[in-house]
Chains A and B, each alone.
Chain A
């Protein structure tokens, strides 16, 4: 029965965004950016809410209002999380670089994301003359809406989940792939060489790195024996990070590539193909992509926590707090990587994906299958997994040290005497 609530929500969201897009396309050129977006969003929000309420109440009765409340709470929470992530990234990267980060807007710069959001919404809305208008407008939505919709089935603790589907993991993986289309469409719709190049690169990258991501998620599902996310966490004894460290490593790398973070952020690198698929997007359009990126980052971190780090399990503190702590911990690790590493070139990135991550992920699958079939104790699989990880690290190190570049230091007096 609650599925009707979710369906109604989806219908309402789709209607709302359709209405919003039409109104915005019509009003923004006439009324200017701020008013156009404002009226569009306001009307859409009201209409969408009304439709959703009507449909669900008609289908279920008043108790459905609880579900609707939960859905809106989720959307609000995710927006707040995005604000928090934007602030955290800038502050953390600042400290990592021995500088302060935002300090002026609000205490400790906490209102900086709000300032950024307001600025983006008020910016002039530029649509390139040759661009395909409909495609141009729809692209951010295709990237942005699935990012939110995945969260319906992600549990924050055993009871804090909107709708715990038995096929939870499959739903999450399936919906996270839909967003890639948005990037492709964005580059094409911009009618810009850089945009097209960037969107092709991004599509190639994202599709390639889906494979290790999905295969590793599959091994976790095998270990737990279910696709139900709540069950996966409940059955983690011990946490799967200990059972499959190789899996954690692969999932984290693949996740970084999925979200487009350094060292895999070549497709929207500012210093080269100035922005990639987003080069022509200004103001609120770009804000949608930006928002989607942060929600996806949080999603990958949440999945890592759920699948590998034991979700909400932990002593003393309430489970939700543990979940958030662990997820933010993973997010901080992702920011840490961004501050330390340069970025890989696109062909190196693809080589890493196909030549290293994909075979390793299949190896993980094989190991897990063997371990489950022959009923190894958990530490057996753990040892095997660690051995493979260490072996791979050692091989990479060997390769690197064999080609270790060498610099000669010639004393100046030798050169002087040689004349």
Chain B
């Protein structure tokens, strides 16, 4: 008897709590920084071309074989404006097949592909979920703007600089402390 009454009082107490519902689509729950949405290709603003060279490592390692790509000789390399000999010519991802595992990002040697935060890409067509290079680059640019993404080498260099700077400054703070 007592347990049932305790249960009743519990539900009564919960009635007066704030509901935990988030009213989608007006309210979106915040996404964590590492959230894995669909893959997107990044854009190198310093040179003005994608980071992707079309090497197809990601295509080979994709567990569901949802991507396909081709590469071409990079015209900007011949002009001396870009360090990349080859550049991606076409790239297609079948989002229906992508299992959002992130292996493509892990194996990429060029920081060319990232897991964007886009996940609301439903369409009304059965085959409407194939994305091509332009759309992938757009998604990538949005992601870069949203998160301030930098390629790994740059990020590591900045971290090193920060560490060195922190190691160099404690003398000033101790001086101010003692004087």
Contact = CB atoms under 8 A, between A and B. Distances in A.
A378 interface: no
B21 interface: yes
Given A340-B8, A393-B1, A95 B21 contact: no
B115 to A, nearest CB: 31
B7 interface: yes
A98 interface: yes
Interface residues of A, number: 18
A396 interface: yes
Given A100-B23, A103-B23, A397 B11 contact: no
- Top 6 nearest A-B pairs (CB, nearest first) are A100-B21, A340-B11, A99-B21, A95-B15, A397-B1, A393-B1
A355 interface: no
Given A92-B15, A336-B12, A340-B11, A99 B4 contact: no
B4 to A, nearest CB: 7
Given A341-B4, A396-B1, A397-B1, A96 B11 contact: yes
Given A99-B21, A397-B1, 19 more contacts: A92-B15, A94-B19, A95-B19, A96-B11, A98-B14, A98-B17, A99-B19, A99-B20, A100-B19, A336-B8, A337-B8, A339-B11, A340-B4, A340-B7, A340-B8, A340-B11, A341-B4, A341-B7, A400-B1
B10 to A, nearest CB: 8
Contacts of B4: 340-341
B2 to A, nearest CB: 7
| Among A98, A336, A341, residue most surrounded by chain B Cβ atoms (within 10 Å) | A98
Contacts of B2: 397
A341 B11 CA distance: 10
B12 to A, nearest CB: 7
A22 interface: no
A104 to B, nearest CB: 9
A119 to B, nearest CB: 22
A97 interface: yes
Nearest to A263: B4
B24 to A, nearest CB: 11
Interface residues of B, number: 17
Contacts of B23: 100, 103
Contacts of A396: 1
A298 B136 CA distance: 59
Interface in B11-51: 11-12, 14-21, 23
Nearest to B18: A98
Interface in B119-157: none
Contact of A98 (B7, B8, B12, B19): B19
A308 to B, nearest CB: 19
25 contacts: A92-B15, A95-B14, A95-B16, A96-B11, A96-B12, A96-B14, A96-B15, A98-B14, A98-B17, A98-B18, A98-B19, A98-B20, A100-B19, A100-B23, A336-B11, A336-B12, A337-B8, A340-B4, A340-B10, A340-B11, A341-B4, A341-B7, A393-B1, A396-B1, A400-B1
Interface in A70-118: 92, 94-100, 103
Contacts of B15: 92, 95-96
A97 B20 CA distance: 9
A103 to B, nearest CB: 7
A297 to B, nearest CB: 19
A100 B12 CA distance: 15
Contacts of A400: 1
Contacts of B20: 98-99
A292 B1 CA distance: 32
A343 to B, nearest CB: 14
- Most chain A CB within 10 A, of B1, B8, B10, B12, is at B1
A97 B18 CA distance: 10
